[in-house]
Amino acid sequence: MPRLNQKFFHQETTKIARELLGKVLVRKSASGRGDKKLSGVIVETEAYTGPHDLACHASKGKTPRTQTMFESGGVWYVYMIYGMYHCLNIVTEGEEYPAAVLIRAIEPLEGIEEMKKNRKTEKLNNLTNGPGKLCDALGISKKQNCTSAISKDSELYIEDRGIKISPKNIKKAKRIGVDYAGIWKDKPLRFYIKDNDFVSKKD
DNA sequence: CAAGAGATCATCT
DNA sequence: GATGATCTCTTGA
């Protein structure tokens, strides 16, 4: 299966956010006994489009936390929020241009039993339907911050398995939880697959 | 079902 | 010292 490469992540951020729908997020971990492979189809994303975007962490400038966003597109940006959850983003566009796409929800594909263990629930539709939940299910933490999504030995990457999402079935909406962002809070920069059960919030 | 509160800490002022 | 790109649980209709 072809992995998304640097060329893909150097496109415009909103385009990437849309095109990530239907792609497959793959988490390989060599921890414990034997290799584990966890994966799911990306069904919801949000674009954080650059230094001018007041919802984007990097709009406050380059700091120890946001410097990951200034890397060349194709590395993971993982941060902790509310003291207890992690959010997974893929950095986009060129070096020194801070932008990223937040992966908000996936539909579980492989490793579902492992995800249930990680999440301590049996409910399939409560495993990965939110940014904090999917990090929990896939065992993602700040260890993955600033690691590559495109290098050969990456434990976390995105595949194109040929799933095509028709533009008709892509919904646009305002982003979640960014009410502080002035005129940027209502911009339609959230994308999700219409009628998918694993989307975190619908309008 | 909706609304509200509490959890809990890295980050920046 | 305040706050957040969230989630879960409790309460009450």
* pLDDT (average), residues A113-123: 96
Residue A65: nearest nucleotide (C-alpha to C1'): B11
Identify the pLDDT of residue A32: 54
Residue A81: nearest nucleotide (C-alpha to C1'): C4
Can you give the pTM of this predicted structure?
A: 0.96
First CA to last CA distance, chain A:
34
pLDDT tens figures, A40-79: 999 999 999 999 999 999 999 999 999 999 999 999 999 9
CA distances from A80 to A108, A121, A141 (A): 22, 22, 8
Identify the pLDDT of residue A9: 98
Does residue A83 lie within 7 Å of nucleic acid chain B, judged by its CB? yes
Hunting for tokens 């929020």 — which residue is that?
A81
* pLDDT (average), residues A109-119: 97
Q: A110 CA, C2 C1': separation in Å?
A: 41
Domains of chain A: 6-193 (3.10.300.10)
* Sign of the CA dihedral running A87, A93, A95, A97: negative
Q: A107 CA, B2 C1': separation in Å?
A: 26
Does residue A201 lie within 7 Å of nucleic acid chain B, judged by its CB? no
- Of the candidates A163, A184, A159, A155, the one whose C-alpha atom is nearest the C-alpha of residue A47 is A184
